[in-house]
């Protein structure tokens, strides 16, 4: 079994650098997918309230036979526009996630989107501080927050997000945001680290490196992330690919190979695949 390295978060918690994401996996299939991942050697699982698969994920976690302290479970608050998100609503949503997961605590709890047009993430973050202080979330963080959003959090109190989970891949490298993370001591976690398996994995630059290395395109891109210090959560429901995505710790990309992949997103604009956090409020 490959040994997955860990990243030390700013509160002293250690998080595996490579985990298993369950976005778009139906709840009925999540138990088997997560069980397969845990059997393969993954120890970090990333879900969210809006994914609708916390129950299946939790069944796999509790049924794995692994000690709870060996596992790192992340979920997220879906702070959507259906209601106001005061303290009571945030705590109720967190309790609901714990109940569905069947856990006494999660290792990381994230605000899923900043939704700047609602102007409420500062008050939500204050409640996240309560959750962290209670020990029911070992660490708290955010997802899809921009530099301006992180600056507002910094100006509102001492609690610094342990993680910001963002869309990040070679075609959308988010250099400015990663620089802000480094300055503030926030770990960078990439969602859609493989560019959702679309254009990125078929590019000649990626294919050339993969062929030379005798690796898949996905493994090459995951190495790019790991060598940049990003936390990654690739998702698959195919057992062979689940194992393959974990088999990336016995080789390294050379400097020129890293530079070739860096150049894919060097045009400045980048190619975002998901929603823009500046306007997302669905």
The phi, psi pair for 223, rounded to 5°, reads -65, -40
Cβ contact 225:258 at 8 Å: no
Q: What is the C-alpha to C-alpha distance for residues 98 and 65, in angstroms, rounded to an integer?
A: 19
Secondary structure (DSSP) of 50-116: GGT-HHHHHHHHHTS---GGG-EEEEEE---TTS---HHHHHHHHHHHHHHHT-S-BSEEEE----T
Beta carbons of 282 and 80 less than 8 angstroms apart: yes
42, 51, 105, 109: which is the annotated catalytic residue?
Answer: 51
Residue 72, beta-bridge partner list: 44
DSSP annotation string for 113-164? ---TTT--HHHHHHHHHHHHHHTSBS-EEEES--HHHHHHHHHH-SPPPSEE
Q: Which structure tokens are listed for 251?
A: 């080789």
User: Do residues 75 and 47 make contact, with C-beta atoms less than 8 angstroms apart?
Assistant: yes
Distances, alpha carbon 150 to alpha carbons 12, 128, 160, 166, 274, in Å: 20, 15, 9, 13, 20
Query: Is 263 in contact with 168 (CB distance < 8 Å)?
Result: no
Q: Tell me if residue 51 is catalytic.
A: yes
Helix 217-227 and helix 239-246: axis angle, to 10°?
40
Residues carrying an active site annotation: 51
């Amino acid at each position: 079994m490959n040994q997955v390295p860990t990243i030390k978060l700013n509160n002293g918690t250690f998080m595996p650098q490579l985990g298993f994401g369950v976005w778009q996996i139906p709840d009925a299939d999540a138990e088997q997918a997560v069980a397969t991942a845990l059997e393969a050697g993954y120890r970090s699982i990333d879900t969210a309230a809006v994914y609708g698969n916390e129950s299946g994920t939790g069944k796999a976690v509790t049924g794995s036979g692994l000690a709870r302290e060996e596992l790192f479970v992340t979920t997220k608050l879906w702070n959507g526009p259906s209601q106001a998100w005061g303290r009571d609503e945030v705590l109720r949503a967190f309790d609901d996630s714990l109940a569905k997961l069947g856990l006494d605590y999660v290792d990381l709890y994230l605000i899923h989107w900043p939704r700047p047009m609602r102007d409420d993430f500062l008050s939500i973050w204050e409640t996240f501080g309560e959750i962290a202080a209670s020990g029911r979330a070992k660490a708290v963080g955010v997802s899809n927050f921009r530099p301006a959003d992180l600056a507002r959090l910094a100006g509102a109190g001492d609690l610094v997000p342990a993680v910001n989970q963002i869309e990040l891949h070679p075609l959308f490298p988010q250099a400015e945001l990663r620089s802000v993370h480094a300055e503030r001591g926030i770990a960078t976690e990439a969602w859609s680290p493989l560019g959702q398996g679309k254009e990125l994995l078929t590019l000649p630059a990626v294919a050339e490196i993969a062929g030379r290395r005798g690796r898949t395109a996905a493994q090459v891109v995951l190495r790019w992330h790991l060598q940049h210090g990003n936390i990654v959560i690739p998702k698959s429901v195919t057992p062979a690919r689940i194992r393959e995505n974990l088999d990336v710790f016995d080789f390294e990309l050379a400097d020129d190979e890293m530079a070739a992949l860096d150049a894919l997103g060097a045009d400045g604009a980048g190619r975002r695949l998901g929603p823009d956090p500046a306007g997302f409020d669905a």
